[in-house]
Amino acid sequence: SNIFFRPIEKINAVIESYPKGIAGFKRYTEIIDTEPDIADVPDAVELNNVKGNIRFEGVTFGYEPGRDILSQIDLNIQSGETIAFVGPSGAGKTTICSLLPRFYDVTGGRITVDGLDVRQIKLESLRKHIGIVQQDVFLFAGTIRENIAYGNLSATEEQIWEAARRASMEDLIRKLPDGMDTMIGERGVKLSGGQKQRLSIARMFLKNPPILILDEATSALDTETEAAIQQSLSELSQGRTTLVIAHRLSTIRNADRIVVVNEHGIAEQGSHRELVAAGGIYSRLHNVQTQHA
Ligand code: ATP
């Protein structure tokens, strides 16, 4: 019954994005090299005016033939909904989320965005509409400004500051010797885990995708930083369909829906209140965690 306890060894930085992908597939470039079957079909379409309705219909997937990690998963995620996946390590939370941007293709069933099978959508268009915030921040040697604007080269100075402000980074940047022009990366100022998280959140405000995947950090941030980051993340998820890969129960209470995943698939789902009242797996985990808090 201690499956939800994780050592606090895991990182502190939330990270975004494709150069590294989400946890199970850390090197995007490696993936596109090794997964030649993920490619556009000849008549692939662009996504337009994305609402962000997502459906998993009878989704089956395994990394290796004969060993399914997911079997017959059905999920209907509404536009703007925040849905959090919880469950033991290895249950498949990350895997579920990685199928949406097609880091891997389903082996059975299908996933749709606004009714379109993701395999019918141009890969570039699909991924342009999905933002990923996760633990390892991809930073390059350059200024803070360049790192925030990453992926949105037409961003104005005002938009960059606005993104920084919404990611609770503004004060931090103003205190740096060269402000937005401060160099970060190997030869520049070293950012802490929490600062990197905020930078990746700022990037997402600029990217402004209708669909968001948050791979929650199991970090050892101080309470104040943690609260500021949670606040920014919650603001970021407003108006976007958001899939949260949750490692702690405490941060997902306000999700519209919590999906408990275990080795058999989706064990139960509902709001925090509903699941606590149901007295199932979630409610037991919740009791255990609150006793240890
Ligand atoms: P955690 O909370 O520890 O991140 P999770 O619920 O997100 O776990 P996944 O990372 O989706 O679980 O892993 C589900 C299963 O798939 C595990 O058995 C894992 O070992 C396996 N797995 C994950 N990534 C790969 C991969 N790239 N190749 C082969 N097997 C993988």
* pLDDT for residue 120: 98
Question: Is the Cβ atom of 91 under 6 angstroms away from ligand 1?
Answer: yes
- pLDDT confidence bin for 220, thresholds 50/70/90: low
- ipTM tops the 0.85 cut: yes
Average pLDDT over residues 158-170: 95
pLDDT at 204 over 60: yes
Q: Give the separation between CA 132 and CA 201, rounded to whole angstroms.
A: 9
Of 84, 206, 94, 86, which Cα lies nearest the Cα of 153?
Answer: 206
User: How far lies 185's CA from each of 141, 191, 196, in Å?
Assistant: 4, 8, 11
Average pLDDT over residues 73-91: 95
Q: Give the separation between CA 34 and CA 25, rounded to whole angstroms.
A: 11
Q: 123 CA distance to ligand 1 centroid (A)? A: 23
3-state SS track over 207-229: HCCCEEEEECCCCCCCHHHHHHH
Q: Which of 69, 71, 98, 252 to mutate to test the pocket of ligand 1 (most atoms within 8 A of CB)?
A: 69
User: How far lies 292's CA from each of 96, 143, 240, in Å?
Assistant: 29, 42, 33
Residue 133 tokens read as 């915030």
Give the position, in ligand 1's atom list, of the atom nearest the Cα of 92. Answer: 11
Which residues neighbour 87 within 8 Å (Cβ) at sequence distance 6 or greater?
3, 93, 260, 261, 262, 267
Return phi, psi of residue 236, to 5°: -60, -40
- pLDDT confidence bin for 135, thresholds 50/70/90: low
pLDDT in tens, 227-262: 888 899 999 999 999 999 987 777 787 899 999 999
Average pLDDT over residues 85-97: 92
Q: Indicate the average pLDDT of the chain.
A: 84
Indicate which residue's Cα is closest to atom 3 of ligand 1: 89
Question: Is the Cβ atom of 30 under 6 angstroms away from ligand 1?
Answer: no
Cβ neighbourhood burial of 176 (10 Å; 0-12, 13-18, 19+) = middle
pLDDT in tens, 104-122: 999 999 999 999 999 999 9
Residue 234 tokens read as 């919650």
* pLDDT for residue 123: 95
